[in-house]
Structure 1
């Protein structure tokens, strides 16, 4: 399995500086999305490095098998960023409620998946561990589906007034949905593998073809889509600033209007 780990290190070492650049360009409004893209790249680099050193490393394989969570959170963050620029009268409470619920649900799912799968692959797993792994994988799929729905709602919703970055926010949402397609392939595959307990489909003991087609490539495609739309919308903050500047009241004195009378 060294080939997969080597590819992880190479690909994400290349993408990490770009993700850092996008984190700087999108700033606080896009903090969530680009923080989690950076986190995903770092996790893949760390897991890949461990795997290159020892392809049988349980830590490396666990990181690779359940480490999709940051990409789902990045999708959530991208939708959050798009809403900030898309709708003038958006509900901040609703936006942050979705972010909080998604984060908590995925954190719980990851804990269940990691603890369950770790015990099983260390050889002392119980039926409870398998249940935990299945529940964790199932919750991850449900959260993924909710993110697809959330992105679609924000894409098709007709607001009372669109913000200055409406075209760019549309691209962000389209990119989110595109990335979620590949993330969906990844999380549904994991759920099927866990439910069937087929060793050939296992994220850890599965064949090279399975790990390349259903793990590495979907993750890579989703990350590349995030990076692409991030680069295309890297000036979105400048657009909003420009509109605010041009619409601001001028401090220059206005010429007095002198009434004219017909004599």
Structure 2
């Protein structure tokens, strides 16, 4: 008989299997400027499918959680935040020249490195709870940096000149950030309390862990499908060529 924990793992498998289809669609339709963001959205689906699949198999066969699955599911939190960074970059494309350098491609490398470093340290912590805690705190720092970049993007003087669909993407990122924040805080609290990322009440895990992730993914994918024509409709503002109307005698 399927336990509640197994049911949760199975529900996540079904959700991310379905979500992977629009994720691939968005990755294809958004073109090169949306490449990074939608790749991370799809990566989130892939990691969750692998992690939850391993967890479900371990629970259904041995009745014990899988350490490997816990590590993979822990890493799976990073694409959620990195996707926000990638989608933010896509939302800023048409006004990129009017934005500060730290909102450009090179500037976005810093939060990428912070997020990757934090989640990498947490994933490699093994049985060392202190490394896990430090890694998640670094990851939370990455979330704060991304939140700051989102706020600066919204408040940019050039914001009104964004293409309409870019504003929708920016709104989606703005909606996602508090939800990701809830998920990050939950992971930190669990890590400090239980020295891992998979313990605690199942009900709390669903409310503060699973549901925020589902909402972020639905938010991303809804915005992605709604703005599927952005790559085609985006108007590149280029200087008009000057024509010499004077004729020499």
TM range (shorter): 0.7 to 0.9
Q: Which residue of 2 aligns with 1:257?
A: none
**More displaced stretch, 189-198 vs 206-215:** 189-198
Q: CA RMSD in A?
A: 2.5
Indicate if the aligned counterparts of 2:190 and 2:200 stay in contact, CA closer than 8 A.
Answer: no
After TM superposition, the structure 1 = structure 2 runs for residues 32-111 of structure 1, keeping only pairs within 5 Å, are 32-55=36-59, 56-90=65-99, 94-111=103-120
Q: Which residue of 2 aligns with 1:217?
A: 211
1:124-158: CA deviation from partner (whole Å, max 9, x where unpaired): xxxxx222111111011111111111111101211
Determine which of 220, 226, 230 is the counterpart of 1:226.
220
Q: Is structure 2 residue 32 aligned with structure 1 residue 28?
A: yes
Report the number of matched residues.
Answer: 236
Q: Which residue of 1 aligns with 2:62?
A: none
1:168-224: CA deviation from partner (whole Å, max 9, x where unpaired): 2221111101111111100011112222337xxx53122211221111111111111
Q: Which residue of 2 aligns with 1:14?
A: 18
The structure-2 alpha-carbon separation of the partners of 1:223 and 1:161, relative to structure 1 and needing over 3 Å to count, comes to closer
SS at match of 2:200: coil
Gaps spanning 5+ residues in structure 2: where? Answer: 60-64
Indicate if the aligned counterparts of 1:203 and 1:211 stay in contact, CA closer than 8 A.
Answer: no
After TM superposition, the structure 1 = structure 2 runs for residues 152-167 of structure 1, keeping only pairs within 5 Å, are 152-159=151-158, 162-163=161-162, 165=163, 167=164
2: CA distance between counterparts of 1:139 and 1:190? Answer: 12
Structure of higher CA gyration radius: 1
2: CA distance between counterparts of 1:168 and 1:92? Answer: 23
1:40-75: CA deviation from partner (whole Å, max 9, x where unpaired): 000011111111211211111222234210010000
Q: Is structure 2 residue 235 aligned with structure 1 residue 235?
A: no
- Give the TM-score of the pair, scaled to structure 2: 0.86
Indicate if the aligned counterparts of 1:185 and 1:214 stay in contact, CA closer than 8 A.
Answer: yes
2: CA distance between counterparts of 1:211 and 1:145? Answer: 23
1: CA distance between counterparts of 2:222 and 2:141? Answer: 26
Task: State the Cα distance separating 1:112 from its structure 2 match.
Answer: 1.2
- Give the TM-score of the pair, scaled to structure 1: 0.81
Task: State the Cα distance separating 1:87 from its structure 2 match.
Answer: 4.4
Task: State the Cα distance separating 1:34 from its structure 2 match.
Answer: 0.1
Gaps spanning 5+ residues in structure 1: where? Answer: 121-128, 255-263
Task: State the Cα distance separating 1:240 from its structure 2 match.
Answer: 1.7
Determine which of 196, 199, 204 is the counterpart of 1:205.
199
Indicate if the aligned counterparts of 1:22 and 1:234 stay in contact, CA closer than 8 A.
Answer: yes
